[in-house]
Structure 1
Amino acid sequence: MMIHDSSTQPDAAGDTETGDYALLVPEADASERRGGFCGGCPRKWHSTCFGLSLGTVLLGLTSLLNYWDLYLDPQHPRLHLPPALLFGGTAAFLGLYLLEALFCSSTSRCLWRLRASDSLAGTVARLQALPPQVLLQVREFKMNTKTLRTGHPPRDQRITVPEETHAEAAEFKYRRWQDASHPPDPESLGGVLAHVEVTVTVLFQDEETRDRLERDIHALRKKARKTKDSLQDFRVVCGLKDAAGLVSRSVDGRERRRRDSSESSFSLLCFTGGHEKPWWLHFWAYVFLSLLLLSWPYRVAVEFGTRRSHVSVCKTVSVLVQGAERGGAFAKQGARQGADESPIPPGP
C-alpha cells in the first residue's frame, strides 16, 4: 500500500486531560434502507408517468379520429365531439406529461447529474486516492422553557427546548495516511446503474494519534465553553477531501465514533460495464425518448436495471512521520534482542 505524507502539521499539544466525552458520540438511526433508482424509495412503476402518457395517447388518437370523421362527413359526424375540447385536453395532458417527465422525476435529475466520468471502477479508484478528512465539531447550548397553547379548549403547555448559543469546528491534523480498502470487483456487479452506499472509516493508527485526537477534542471543548452553566455536545465527522468533485462527506448521514476509529456513510450513483457511459444513459437521450412518449418504459427499464452495492473505504491516519515510527520500533526491537542475548565468553 502506498503511504502518503501529509503537508499539514499537527497542532500544538493542548491539555492532556481526557474524560468520558470520548465515548459519548450519538449514533443516528440507521434503520432506513434506501433502494431503487437514485437511492429513492424502493423500486416503483412510475404510475403517474404511465397515466399521463396513456391519457395523452388516447386523447390524441380520439382527436385524430374525430378530425378524420369531420373531414369525411362534416354534415353528419358520428362522434359529435368538439374538436377544440379534444385538442385542448391533449395539449394539457402532453404538457403535464412533459413537466413530470423532465422536471419532476428522479430519473431526469439523476441523469442530469450523472457525468461521463462516473463509472463504478473510476469512482472506486478515486475514492481510494482521496485523502481522509476528520472534522471536530462542538456545539454549546442551553435549555429554555417555552409556553405553548395547544389543544381544544386551548391550554398552556410548558416545554423545554435546546437553544444553540455557540459552535466551534476544527480539522484534525495528521502527517501521513494510507488507504487500506478492499473494494469488490466492479465488473462482477452487472446491471446498468449502481446505487453505491459508501462507508468511510478512518482508523487512528497508533496511540500517539489517538492521544492527540483526545487533546484536540478537549482543547476545542474548552475553547467553545463560554458560560459555566451551558451544555455541550460534540461529534467527530470523518470523510474524504473532495478535490475531485465527489460528494464525500455527509454530516446528516450515519456517523459512529470509537476511540480508535470514526465512520460515516453517503451514497453515489454510478454506471457499470466499463469506463465509458452508454449513449442511452445521457440526459438528452432521455429527453428525446420523452418527446416520443417513451419515458415510462425507459424509466422502468432503468429502474429495474439498477443494482445496489456497498463499498467500504478504509483510511489510516497518523501524526507520526514514517521514519520516526520505524526508528522507534527498531530501537525497541534492538533493545529487546540485546537484553535476551547472553554475554559472549572471553576467548583464550
Structure 2
Amino acid sequence: MFSFFKKSGDKPIPAETAPTPTAPAAAETPAGPAYQLSWAQRLKQGLSRTREQLGKQLTSLFSRGGKIDADLYDELETILLTADVGVDASQYLLDSLRQRVKKDRLTDAAQLQSALHDALCTLLAPLEQALDVSTHKPYVIMLAGVNGAGKTTTIGKLAKYYQAQGKSVLLAAGDTFRAAAREQLMVWGERNNVAVIAQDGGDSAAVIFDAIAAARARGIDIVLADTAGRLPTQLNLMEEIRKVRRVIRKAEPTAPHEVLLVLDANTGQNAVTQVTAFDDALNVTGLVLTKLDGTAKGGVIAAIAKTRPRPIRFIGVGEGLDDLRPFVAHDFVDALFEAPAP
C-alpha cells in the first residue's frame, strides 16, 4: 500500500503503520551568509586526507627546485596515478605541462606548481555545469548508482538544498527492493517536511509513475526519484532500471529531465567504470560525487573528465545536510593543494 507524507507536516496517512526508524545523523545548518562563506573551508576540510597525500607530495616535488627533466615528469606521473587521476588524465596533464614549459620557457621545477594548477582547472572546468531545474514542472530527477554510494542520503540533502531555494519537493521511494532504503527516505521526508510516496515491495517504476502524477496534481516543482542500487555487471537489474526510465517517460514525455548517477569517491577508478556502464544504460546527464571526506584521493574526478566526461552537479564532503553543494572546479583544485601565489 502507498504511504503519503503531507507537506503540511501532518502524520502519514497510511493503509498500514509506517515504520519509525532512527533519523539519519546529520546536523541541519540553515542557509544564510555564513553558510555561503564557509563552503570553501568545509571543502578543504572535507578533502583534507587527499590534501595531505597529494598536496604534500606535489609541494615536496615542486619546492625542492631543480631542473625540469624526464625524471621529474616520471615522479609527477607516479603521484598523479596514485591519486586516482588515471592514465589518460595523467597523460593529458603531463602533456599540458610540457607545452607550458616550452611556451613560457620554464626552467625550474618550482614553476610547475602554477602550471599544474591551471592545467587541472582547465581539465575540470567543462564539468562545472549547474543544474537548471526551472525548465519543467514538475522537474523529475532520477537517481541511480550502486548500493552504498549514498543515493538515499543524497536525495535527503537535495531536498533540503532545493527547499532553501524556495522549491517544493516530492520524494519517490523507488528502491522497493530494500525496506531500509524506503524507511530512510521516509525519515528524510519527515525531517524536510516534504511528501514521500512509497510502497511495500512491488514495482519501482509504478511508485515513481504515481509520484509524478501526484506532483503534477499538487503543483510540485521537483520530484526526486530513488531507484534500487545495482552493480553494472548485473545485467538483469540494469535492464530493470531501463524499464524505470521508460515508465517515467510514459508518466511525463519529457522526463526524466535529469539522470543523476551517485558515485562513492572512495571507489577510485571503479567510479569511471560505473559512469560508463550506467551512461550506456540510462544516458546519464549528471554526476554526484559523495564521501570526499573519507579516504578518497579526489583525483578520480580528473579521470572521469578525460574518460567519460559528464557534468558533476554536486559533490558531498560531509554528513551534514549542507555538505552537498554544486561542483566548482577552481574551488575543488584549490582544495586539493594550495593555490599558487599570483
TM-score (norm 1): 0.22
Bigger helix fraction:
2
TM-score (norm 2): 0.22
